[in-house]
Structure 1
Amino acid sequence: MEMDAATFEQLVVDELDRLPDEMVDGLDNVVFVVEDRPEDGSLDLLGLYDGLALTERGHYGMGELPDRIIVYREPHLAHATDEAELRDEVHTTLVHEIAHYFGIEDEQLHEMGWA
């Protein structure tokens, strides 16, 4: 599947808007970033939470750089056969990475069907 960077970024924004308010209202000092590929160039990683989960934070105040949730465009496109499948996978990736922000680990996500 092919899709240019601007169109994919808009798709990610659309999927963010579809997430339940209770999931995104608790996000603080987090930015969402779309990148083409992970640094290692692989197509295996769809997304990444880059930050310190809420459950691991001690003191958290002003001046910290924002946490990042990265969505990788090329791996998503490599795994999807059509736009509906792509939207589903982006949605799942966003939920998965937001869960990491809240301190939910991969094992719990597997049990809940989000990994």
Structure 2
Amino acid sequence: MNDDAPARVLLDVDAESFERLVVDELDRLPDDMVEGLDNVVFVVEDRPDDGSLDLLGLYDGWALTERERYGAGELPDRIIVYREPHLAACADESELRDEIHTTLVHEIAHFYGIDDDRLHELGWA
């Protein structure tokens, strides 16, 4: 371990306040982006299963481009936003809001079938 590396300091935002920020940022997204979300739930979790602080969000489901047999009765897809990685990556609430916004757009794009390479081209990854 490099002793010269700065330690990650987490912003102090509790789970309830973070969830409110996620809802606020969802409300700020364009209607045509969120109106097409069918059978998708948004979930806030503290950290990914591996405990890392490197993953900000995850789309867990089938993209629209892969939904050949998708239909009624299917469990909802999930867009997961990880609280602690966001807090570790951001210096203040303004930066936190921006990063939550970017994460939401990124994960919603996966729902629509847009892959990471295309998101990089568009500046959303």
5+ long unaligned stretches in structure 1: none
The one of 18, 21, 32 aligned to 2:42: 32
2:91 matches 1:109:
no
2: distance between equivalents of 1:42 and 1:18?
Answer: 28
For residues 3-59 of structure 1, the C-alpha deviation after alignment (integer angstroms, 9 at most, x for no partner) is 000000000000000000010010000000000000000000000000010001102
Q: TM-score, normalised by structure 2?
A: 0.91
- AA aligned opposite 1:114: W
Gaps of 5+ in 2: 1-10
Larger C-alpha radius of gyration, 1 or 2?
2
Counterparts of 2:68 and 2:18, CA distance in 1: 36
Secondary structure of the structure 2 residue equivalent to 1:109: helix
Give the aligned residue type for 1:65.
Answer: L
* Alignment pair present for 1:95 and 2:101: no
Greater shift after overlay, 54-63 or 79-88? 54-63
The 5 A counterparts of 1:65-104 are 65-104=75-114
For 2:99 and 2:75, how far apart are their aligned partners in 1?
Answer: 28
Indicate the larger mover: 101-110 or 52-61.
52-61
Under a length normalisation based on structure 1, what TM-score does the superposition of the two structures give?
0.99
Aligned pair count?
115
Partners of 1:68 and 1:61 in 2: how far apart?
16
Deviation at 1:74, TM superposition (A): 0.1
What is the distance in 2 between the residues matched to 1:58 and 1:20?
A: 27
Q: Distance in 2 between matches of 1:20 and 1:62?
A: 26
